[in-house]
């Protein structure tokens, strides 16, 4: 009987040691996930299958006004609407930027949002009127002189997002 009891104690000790190793591994995995944490806005989306900045620029180069493509892309927030967070612009490569609005005005970004984001939705090219450009400049807090200097429409890389992941 003493041998059986001793055997059970030894097995319990072995299993206890195995469990502590698994807990350490889990803690390391949790730390890695925390480093890649995102705040989610709009529809729930994943951070997988995201087009690179180079790929999305090539995609936009092939679009004409009126064309639309469903995609998921990454970018860096350049500017957010200072009144409601109802739009943002993403910098792709220092030259190209994308105007992002949110599907059905269904969600907004924090006014102080900064950093990298992943957006899912529809990419398209549009022509933005002078009136709209002035409105966006006003929302962004531009001076009266800067607003008045807007005199021609511009070809805009646009995106309507149904979901956004903001890297924290």
Strands 116-128 and 87-91: unpaired
Q: Are residues 30 and 83 in the same domain?
A: no
Q: What is the CATH number of the domain that holds 42?
A: 2.40.50
31 and 47 share one domain: no
Q: Are residues 104 and 70 in the same domain?
A: yes
62 and 134 fall within a common domain: yes
**What is the tens place of the pLDDT at every residue in 66-105?**
899 999 999 999 999 988 999 999 998 888 899 999 999 9
The verdict on 27 and 92 lying in the same domain is no
Residues 6+ away with beta carbon under 8 Å from 49? 72
The residue segments making up the domain with residue 63 are 38-167
Collapsing DSSP states into helix, strand and coil, what is residue 108? coil
pLDDT digits (tens, 9 = 90+) for 111-152: 999 999 999 999 999 888 999 999 989 988 999 999 999 999
- In 3D, which of 98, 149, 142, 102 has the Cα closest to residue 124? 98
The number of folded domains in the chain is: 2
Is the CB of residue 103 less than 8 Å from the CB of residue 162? yes
94 and 146 fall within a common domain: yes
Q: Is 35 helix (H, G, I), strand (E, B) or coil?
A: helix
């Amino acid at each position: 009987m003493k041998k059986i009891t001793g055997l059970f104690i030894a097995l319990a000790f072995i299993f206890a040691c195995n469990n502590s190793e698994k807990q350490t591994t889990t803690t390391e995995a949790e730390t890695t996930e925390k480093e890649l944490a995102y705040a989610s806005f709009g529809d729930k989306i994943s951070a997988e299958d995201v087009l690179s900045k180079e790929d999305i620029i090539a995609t936009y180069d092939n679009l004409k006004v009126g064309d639309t493509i469903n995609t998921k892309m990454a970018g860096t927030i350049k500017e957010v609407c200072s009144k409601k967070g109802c739009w943002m612009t993403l910098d792709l490569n220092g030259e190209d930027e994308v105007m992002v609005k949110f599907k059905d005005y269904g969600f907004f970004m924090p006014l102080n949002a900064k950093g990298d984001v992943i957006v899912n939705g529809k990419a398209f090219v549009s022509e933005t009127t002078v009136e709209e450009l002035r409105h966006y400049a006003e929302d962004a807090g531009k001076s009266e002189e800067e607003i008045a200097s807007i005199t021609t429409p511009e070809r805009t890389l646009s995106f309507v997002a149904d979901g956004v992941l903001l890297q924290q």
